[in-house]
Structure 1
């Protein structure tokens, strides 16, 4: 005999009516809870996206400000010292040495004359004509910032800022170079994180990881699926900023907010495992299990009490059922909350 037939066959009309009203009230309650849970999931996802975008903007703004301050300091000194345009290193180097001593974030400065001969504040000389950045500066005469590179002579990670010198006639008069330690950028990236699985990283316009917890120096394609590469090509490398979802080769779903660092063209990413904060699905699963256990507990207890000849007065059925069901589902309730 089914549980439903047993309940309907109960002698007490009060029990029948109470069970019917309980069933009628539970259905809209469960539907309402599922709707609210779905809405909660959407709100969590929206808030997560907004927070990631905000943190990416903050980090990008700090990195931009730091790089621009270094460029501006060189330009202001050059403007205040006309001797930078005379092409004589013996009058330029003393000024650069003072600048190097006043900025602990600068590894050294160098001056490259119009013919491509370079001399730095440590006295090292070399021919810069073989370097692409010098060739480019002689043509476009624009400030440029290198990627984070490892210097061959010292083995140190550095960033090189090239500030071309141009006279009033528009003629190229050499370059002032600043060799910077990237620790400040690393500090900015490591300081702002999103959640337990969140991290930041820098990607160059050519697709090289400049800063990454595990992939620094690697090319993007070395550890990306074809789908991820296509996504980056159509979004990251085309847009100034955005928000993307992608799957890593190991199957991990990740979300990332990205922003362009104007001074360099680098892309800064605020990244995290998508499931680490997105709790809507797990919440719905727990709620469904909770509701199912509640109903199962009520039905089991109802069947037991209504088919037992020695059962107490049926008028006490609901209080007994509620108490028994409460003890039955309490472990599930604790799991749902935890």
Structure 2
């Protein structure tokens, strides 16, 4: 027996396993969640710190580079007083020397106070309209331009401009260094974070000076960001010196970014990366933790299953044995090997109880069998005595009743004989009347027989008409099926016509304008074939309905034929019965006439019988008195035997009940 299918085992085992799971897994889960929370917080803080440090370092490097180039320009102005006049021949050697010693700058310029400028190659340009030159004249301090299109190289570049002032502090010109945007892009290319993270430069006005997406270079952030991101940049990156933000880019990717202001400038270095990459380790750690928790839960469930199974199995086995005992099966006992303890003592107690029950049930079963046998024997004896007494009582009662009846019958017979004589006379009179009525009934039955024969003939005519109608309906059904076959042929023809019209339309299209008329004819043929096909389908549907109605009508006519046949059979049976009745009435008429003659002879014999019955009545009165005395004695004896019989029946019933209860148990 597979005890693990028992409901008790399932319930108890599930509860214990669930308890073990809760006691072991819940603390582990809470501790893991706490550690995950601390890990996520510390990792997030570390990631933010790394990003901010990267932004700060990149901003510092960019600031040092700009400051170095500005210092070179300022030092050149300080060391070369002759730069106060716009003398190209005097300036060109200095500009060439600067270019030869500094490969990071693409071009060096000198500009006078009016904005006329020339580079180290002597190429002159006008920069008076440039915003950075206007700002330089206004502030008389070194300025760095935003990204602009160079009028010499026609490439995106920035300009570092240092003013030349006279002793009175008046603006007399400027030294300029043109730095290509590609050089700045290369310097920012070393800023990396995560797998695809990068850094870029953005001015205070929101212009991208460098960016990994080249189409954004020189564009304003308002042209490249959605309204929410633009508003966030205005409040943080473009307004604050340093910080950390999260945003969604134009491609819908969630990103994080750290920014830091370039020293002494309004530029910001922004270091950004997808949020999924930055927090990938955290997500992987969380997923791994959940996997470990799931594995731990599975291990706990498996271990709990085997431990609980070992504990619960003997209890379930004991439960199954007690269930069998409750159902009357005392043949089983606890035969599992268990260690000493509470379960072992319980098993010994159960086995001892089953042994005691076996002994007790066996003794009760033997005693009940003996009682039942004795009660059966006593009941048989009582039944035999009751039978004998009953027979005697019945005989005496019959004798007494017979004598009583005989006396009364004798008197009544005497009176009856007198009445019989007068009755016989009346019978003779009634026989004559009945004879007349029987003759009239014979005449009516003859008429009824003729009427039934006519009805049988009419029913046969109706049956023949119904047969003819059924044959016509079957022929109609055959015609409908032939119509259905013709419709199928018409449907096929319409389908072929439609295919021919399609081929004709294809040929007309291939021919071109010359086949346009043919295409119209093909279209009309196609429409006509479709209409024919639809009409044939409708006719087919109607014919299908006609077939159904015809079938139902044929079935109804068949039923009518059968009913008409039954009617003919019934009418023929009725006619035969009427003929039999007619013969019986004629026989009764002849017998009544014979009864009338016999009744006259009986009237004479009744007078002699009346005299003999008076002597029989006197003898019957004497016999009745003696039989009544004997009957009373037998009744008393029968009453006592019945009491004994009831007692033996009760004893037998109790013995049978006890035996049924004992039979419930199987030893």
Tell me the equivalent position of 1:254.
255
Contact 2:205 2:238 in 1 (8 A): no
**For the residues of structure 2 that align with 1:188 and 1:159, how far apart are their CA atoms?**
14
**How do 1:299-310 residues align onto structure 2 when only pairs under 5 Å count?**
299=301, 306=309
**For the residues of structure 1 that align with 2:61 and 2:236, how far apart are their CA atoms?**
23
1:61-94 deviation digits (Å, cap 9, x = unpaired):
1111111111111111211111112443432333
**How do 1:211-226 residues align onto structure 2 when only pairs under 5 Å count?**
211-214=210-213, 215-226=216-227
**For the residues of structure 2 that align with 1:149 and 1:62, how far apart are their CA atoms?**
22
Aligned residue pairs: how many? 308
**For the residues of structure 1 that align with 2:146 and 2:126, how far apart are their CA atoms?**
21
TM-score (norm 1): 0.80
**For the residues of structure 2 that align with 1:160 and 1:3, how far apart are their CA atoms?**
86
**How do 1:123-138 residues align onto structure 2 when only pairs under 5 Å count?**
123-138=122-137
Question: Would you say 1:53 and 2:52 are equivalent positions?
Answer: yes
> Structure 1 regions of 5+ residues with no counterpart?
10-15, 316-338
**For the residues of structure 2 that align with 1:313 and 1:205, how far apart are their CA atoms?**
87
1:183-237 deviation digits (Å, cap 9, x = unpaired):
5432331112111021111112221211111122332122322221111111111
Tell me the equivalent position of 1:193.
192
Question: Any runs of at least 4 consecutive aligned residues in structure 1 with deviations exceeding 6 A, and if so which?
Answer: 311-315
Contact 1:258 1:269 in 2 (8 A): yes
1:130-149 deviation digits (Å, cap 9, x = unpaired):
33332322222121112233
Residues 1:2 and 1:130: Cα distance change in structure 2 (over 3 Å): farther
Contact 2:184 2:210 in 1 (8 A): no
1:142-181 deviation digits (Å, cap 9, x = unpaired):
2111223332442334321111111110111111111223
**For the residues of structure 2 that align with 1:314 and 1:61, how far apart are their CA atoms?**
79
**For the residues of structure 1 that align with 2:195 and 2:271, how far apart are their CA atoms?**
13
Instruction: Give the CA deviation at 1:303.
Output: 5.6
Contact 1:6 1:303 in 2 (8 A): no
Contact 1:3 1:299 in 2 (8 A): no
**For the residues of structure 1 that align with 2:142 and 2:8, how far apart are their CA atoms?**
83
Q: Bigger CA drift: 60-69 or 245-254?
A: 245-254
The match for 1:280 among 239, 259, 282 is: 282
Between Structure 1 and Structure 2, the one with more helix by share is 2
Q: Bigger CA drift: 98-107 or 73-82?
A: 98-107
Residues 1:36 and 1:295: Cα distance change in structure 2 (over 3 Å): same
Between Structure 1 and Structure 2, the one with more strand by share is 1
**How do 1:284-323 residues align onto structure 2 when only pairs under 5 Å count?**
284-296=286-298, 298-299=300-301, 306=309
**How do 1:325-336 residues align onto structure 2 when only pairs under 5 Å count?**
none
CA RMSD of aligned residues (A): 3.1
SS of equivalent to 1:211: coil
Question: Would you say 1:266 and 2:270 are equivalent positions?
Answer: no
Contact 1:254 1:271 in 2 (8 A): yes
> Structure 2 regions of 5+ residues with no counterpart?
1-6, 318-335, 340-667
Residues 1:25 and 1:201: Cα distance change in structure 2 (over 3 Å): same
TM-score (norm 2): 0.42
**For the residues of structure 2 that align with 1:227 and 1:62, how far apart are their CA atoms?**
31
Residues 1:151 and 1:227: Cα distance change in structure 2 (over 3 Å): same
SS of equivalent to 2:192: coil
**For the residues of structure 1 that align with 2:119 and 2:288, how far apart are their CA atoms?**
65
Contact 2:125 2:151 in 1 (8 A): no
Contact 2:194 2:278 in 1 (8 A): yes
SS of equivalent to 2:36: helix
Tell me the equivalent position of 2:165.
166
Residues 1:211 and 1:308: Cα distance change in structure 2 (over 3 Å): farther
Contact 2:21 2:300 in 1 (8 A): no
Instruction: Give the CA deviation at 1:105.
Output: 1.9
1:15-40 deviation digits (Å, cap 9, x = unpaired):
x6x98566423321221111101111
SS of equivalent to 1:122: coil
SS of equivalent to 1:137: helix
Tell me the equivalent position of 1:240.
241
Residues 1:3 and 1:63: Cα distance change in structure 2 (over 3 Å): farther
Residues 1:314 and 1:90: Cα distance change in structure 2 (over 3 Å): farther
Q: Bigger CA drift: 151-160 or 226-235?
A: 151-160
**For the residues of structure 2 that align with 1:37 and 1:85, how far apart are their CA atoms?**
68
Question: Would you say 1:75 and 2:74 are equivalent positions?
Answer: yes
